[in-house]
Amino acid sequence: AQSVTQLGSHVSVSEGALVLLRCNYSSSVPPYLFWYVQYPNQGLQLLLKYTTGATLVKGINGFEAEFKKSETSFHLTKPSAHMSDAAEYFCAVTTGGGKLIFGQGTELSVKP
Amino acid sequence: DTEVTQTPKHLVMGMTNKKSLKCEQHMGHRAMYWYKQKAKKPPELMFVYSYEKLSINESVPSRFSPECPNSSLLNLHLHALQPEDSALYLCASSPPGQLQETQYFGPGTRLLVL
């Protein structure tokens, strides 16, 4: 069975500071991993994904994530936060077949 | 065309009403999904259609009835809903392939049941 744990339901950073959102997964087979962002009153937007190959994945809006098999982690980072990054972020895992397993989400606040 | 569209954006209905939610994509995706999302929670999978056939039903009450008339269109028919069914309903689609792993989401329909 697969599962996803996002550490911290709420993260607050200052504008220009590093953003680090943590995600750990559990999977008995090689996983596919995703980060989605959800702005208020909107759907989910795919930020980035890891399927196979390079373990450092670059996404949209300056975000990136690194797949670390030994740590079963897929943390999301951005070097410099912008006010427009304030949103809910979901980490998700799948091994195929249509079932995405989501973490509980992390709300990112950005202070001016 | 690289997006999933959903109509309506908002819907208010009484418990005796019948209504439908619509989802469309023109990206050639062959799997489509319905999710329900409550506030401050992750989306919960309801149904999966693969090549226009229902492949997953996550034990959803029969007052929700999905329909996939063709590869581009997905409907969710609603009847005799309860106030606790009020939520954001999200549609998603994924490209053809063995694993269909990457899902692309629409903007959602916010449903309020009175």
* CB within 8 Å of chain B, chain A residues 1-30: none
Q: What is the pLDDT of residue B1?
A: 58
As a whole number, the mean pLDDT across chain A is: 93
As a whole number, the mean pLDDT across chain B is: 93
Average confidence (pLDDT) over B103-109? 96
Burial per residue of B48-67, b for 16 or more beta-carbon CB atoms within 10 angstroms, e otherwise: bbbebeeebeeebeeebebe
**pLDDT tens column, B60-90:** 999 999 999 999 999 999 999 999 999 999 9
Q: Are A25 and A3 in contact (CB under 8 A)?
A: yes
In whole angstroms, what is the distance from residue A2 CA to residue A56 CA?
22
C-beta atoms surrounding B22 within 10 Å: 16
Residue type present at position B85:
D
- For the record, the structure tokens of B11 come out as 């819907």
List all residues 6 or more positions away from A3 whose beta carbon is below 8 Å from its beta carbon: A25, A26, A93, A101
Q: What is the pLDDT of residue A28?
A: 78
A-chain residue closest to B93, CA distance? A98
A-chain residue closest to B110, CA distance? A41
Specify the range with the lowest mean pLDDT, choosing from A14-18, A51-55, B97-101: B97-101
B42, B98, B103 member nearest A105 (Cβ) = B42
A-chain residue closest to B95, CA distance? A98
**Cβ of B110 under 8 Å from any chain A Cβ?**
yes
Q: What is the pLDDT of residue A31?
A: 85
Cα dihedral: A61, A62, A66, A67 (round 10): 20
B33, B43, B106 member nearest A98 (Cβ) = B33
Q: Are B91 and B79 in contact (CB under 8 A)?
A: no
* CB within 8 Å of chain B, chain A residues 91-110: 94-100, 102-105, 107
Number of alpha helices (DSSP H) and beta strands (DSSP E) in chain B: 0, 11
**pLDDT tens column, B16-40:** 899 999 999 999 899 999 999 999 9
